Amino acid sequence: MINPEEMNKKIREYETFLEDTLKRDLAEVQKILKDKVKKYKEWEEVKQVTKTINEFKEKDRDMVVRVGLGCGVHVTGEVSDYERTFVNIGLGCLLEMDCDEADKYSDIRMRSLKKDIEHYRNLAVHVKVNIKMVLLAINELQSLMLNK
């Protein structure tokens, strides 16, 4: 038979594990997941821009664009050459591509991000299950103490 001191010690250990490990892990996974979803949306935006550029190219007319430079500063410009575009492929590196290449490249990046998003969603579910298990264990120990 376990004495109440040992039970309280075990409950505190579970609570510490829950707070210091599992909740921190869940916060980290959710932060990574949020970042991956944000990047996925950025690549969706690249696809939309290439689609819009192709539409203007077919209509054979200039496109007026407004680009944010940061800190709330925007500039307006006119696109008249639809053959080449620059795509940020990461780490601030721009790669010159035509619109079809940019569209295909964004598909590749989106597929990769989709796999990552699925992985981190599953990981978040796994951590949440572990949190529930620890909470159930704490609850069980507390009910055992109350019954004695």
Domains of the chain, start order:
4-13+25-147 (1.10.287.370)
82 token code pair: 């639809």
Number of Cβ within a 10 Å radius of residue 29: 20
**Which pTM was predicted?**
0.80
Burial class (CB in 10 A: 0-12, 13-18, 19+), 12: exposed
pLDDT of residue 145: 82
Q: What is the pLDDT confidence band of residue 53, given thresholds at 50, 70 and 90?
A: confident
Is the pLDDT at 3 greater than 90? The verdict is no
Q: What is the pLDDT confidence band of residue 59, given thresholds at 50, 70 and 90?
A: confident
**pLDDT: which is higher, 27 or 80:** 27
Give residues with Cβ within 8 angstroms of 23, minimum separation 6.
131
CA–CA distance, 35 with 133 (Å, rounded to integer): 28
Q: What are phi and psi of 35, to 5 degrees?
A: -65, -40
The pLDDT tens digits of the residues spanning 117-140 come to 999 999 999 999 999 999 999 999
Q: Considering the chain, what is the average pLDDT of its residues?
A: 90
pLDDT of residue 139: 94
